[in-house]
Structure 1
């Protein structure tokens, strides 16, 4: 959905976009010819489970586990929802990425309540991580895997060229609020004639994600025209008009080239993005990018996944035990070391193997920094049934149209109208 992941660079260089795949589980009976219980787990991109599943099988000789991987989250979730509608074909454990979680939560009845069938793992996760996957009736639908705590990345040399102070106090002041961020961007654009950030959508989304409500209230009523997004829209599009946006759509070849060509000076960067920055910027810019925990208006989260156990599973108890084991702090640290998926478990966030890890490209202990950012988040944003569709298919394209010359007010009217049509 949000085409993310490439991780934390060097030690933190490939975060995961986690969870999902497409095939049916094991044999029709869920038991192999030699009597072993067969479980399948569906994941996407990199969860870091390859060696962990071997370890689990060694400790559970009566269990055989097959991991089915899909390259992209969008493909996995399309498959997931198709098989949910069909009533068959799901794996015993299905990964769900947070951008698709709202669609799963509206179908919570198709998933097992892990509080009932799984081991007691209360208190394992950051509170907001658990709340986001808890249904209105209190059912726990999934176990948390990774997260995407937000920080800000900036090119120190470019800020200095634009007259933006880069000492600790100066950076804290520049990134204190969105107003101070855009004020600095205006100064930078006027002085250098270059862009402050990569694209409007990459700024709007983190700003939107900081609110308690997404595009819907808790009764699943569309509130895009009254939840504060219009004010965010105004700030972002005003910055576009001032030349602060490089107008580079994320994940395109032009966007990737923009890093190497120093097309923008700052980048909102969840933990999983650091690997992209390193890859796209190239070795010639090693040491020029800096990560700061000073994030406008306090930070937030962008990304992460969960492991669920569909009611289609023939072995739900064993599937829940596998999912619980994979999401234990010990295993999540191993996954972090394997693929740099940033953990959501409280014990893992305090583990020296994470907090003392250094990203060579940035020259910083980014594990400690992002662990602190994760602990700053105190609320899981409520997302309605079509939250992801509105963000990806309506708001994002509309912001791009503004960058290409569409009047911002007219584009906003269309956003509201299209969102209303999509939810009828």
Structure 2
């Protein structure tokens, strides 16, 4: 079994021994000026930590970073205000769920045009991220920064206690599909004390992505009638009936604390979640966590969970310095290395996948090289079709899934509630 996983990883990591670092274009250190960058917590901290390395390459560029909380559309509103202001903000981040709302706004600089010529640079980025920033007329509204290849994080000590294998390859083989997740996962449950997974949304999002189904298709049709939604909701109900889903609301203090208390045996998110485990939720659990490939649908086990982008606003008074910062952040070896090793942010820039700093034995995961899981996911995932109403659909879906998990609604009632809420906004 171990050979299977390593074989898949080897295909995605081919060339690692030949290309240990990224090829770098010498920066133009003469570029100068001051730029203001808009982002969110904790990415403001990430950018702040990068500034010494950035200023080593561009000593005469001053970068001011402002972090706007994302709650209640706070960050989205801040970006929209910056666009309308026509000045004051030079660079802004875009979270993947905001892309369809923001990418076609005329206030973004077209990075496909001279002097940026980003089309050539984008040849080295994950194809689905390129599609997300490229408009039908060819305009490139932003550059991809990071993706979120997903996997199943699990507590190896809890698996051992339950009599399950702990080796990542063996866990991947055992939890091959969602039926196995239900049958084997039940062994991890301690009624009212320990659960397999924090919430049903993790299951639904992974199954949607693995089936290649987005909330809306390319023509803008809401896809709630696709069979994957019913299958996913029914899987959530079975998991809840078996006591596998915790009573905690995702991202609540109780949910976050459950990791430290050892009450959650697995979590299904993008690789970035490892940063939260290491530095916040389970900082004292070195060696207890590992990562396996997620259970799959019809053999497809890959899903993306998250991602972000960065662009330049037309109102910028120093586009040259803004471009230097944007390009450096998304493609420079030192930038990507620090973001990956300090914050577990997975580069959209594909040559980074060959770098030694992405392929190492991580002591937090008991010496596992987790990129052997995430690299094949990045290479094989089905692109998600973005739509302006994705946030509306995601909110409706979250409520419905939780209602199913808690026995408030039947699967039929929950699906109809999602349909009604989303169609009311269309």
Which TM-score band applies after superposition, normalised by the shorter structure? 0.7 to 0.9
**Alignment partners' CA distance in 2, 1:277 and 1:169:** 21
Residues 95-132 of structure 1: CA deviation (Å, up to 9, x unaligned): 01112222123x34332221114144132212222222
Q: Secondary structure at the match of 1:314?
A: coil
Residues 276-303 of structure 1: CA deviation (Å, up to 9, x unaligned): 33433453x4423221235533222111
**Deviation larger for 40-49 or 216-225:** 40-49
Q: Secondary structure at the match of 2:247?
A: coil
* 1:57 Cα deviation from its structure 2 partner: 4.9
Q: Which runs of 5+ in 1 are unaligned?
A: 1-34
* TM-score of the superposed pair, with normalisation by structure 2: 0.80
**Alignment partners' CA distance in 1, 2:209 and 2:318:** 36
1:348 is aligned to: 352
What is the aligned residue count?
A: 384
* 1:89 Cα deviation from its structure 2 partner: 4.8
**Alignment partners' CA distance in 2, 1:233 and 1:89:** 46
* 1:386 Cα deviation from its structure 2 partner: 1.1
Q: CA RMSD in A?
A: 2.9
1:270 is aligned to: 270
**Deviation larger for 273-282 or 182-191:** 182-191
Correspondences of 1:224-373 after superposition (within 5 Å): 224-226=224-226, 228-278=228-278, 279-281=280-282, 283=284, 285-293=285-293, 295-296=295-296, 297-330=300-333, 331-356=335-360, 358-369=361-372, 371-373=374-376
**Correspondence 1:110 to 2:107:** yes
1:418 is aligned to: 421
Q: Which runs of 5+ in 2 are unaligned?
A: 1-30
Q: Secondary structure at the match of 1:422?
A: coil
* 1:400 Cα deviation from its structure 2 partner: 1.8
**Correspondence 1:80 to 2:79:** yes
Q: Secondary structure at the match of 1:199?
A: coil
CA contact (8 A) 1:211 1:381 kept: no
Q: Secondary structure at the match of 1:116?
A: coil
* TM-score of the superposed pair, with normalisation by structure 1: 0.80
**Alignment partners' CA distance in 1, 2:414 and 2:157:** 35
2:393 is aligned to: 390
CA contact (8 A) 1:46 1:339 kept: no
**Alignment partners' CA distance in 2, 1:365 and 1:313:** 44
**Deviation larger for 301-310 or 369-378:** 369-378
CA shift in 2, pair 1:36/1:328, >3 Å: closer
* 1:187 Cα deviation from its structure 2 partner: 5.0
**Alignment partners' CA distance in 1, 2:423 and 2:260:** 40
CA contact (8 A) 1:197 1:245 kept: yes
Residues 19-64 of structure 1: CA deviation (Å, up to 9, x unaligned): xxxxxxxxxxxxxxxx964322212224433354455456556644
**Alignment partners' CA distance in 2, 1:353 and 1:150:** 19
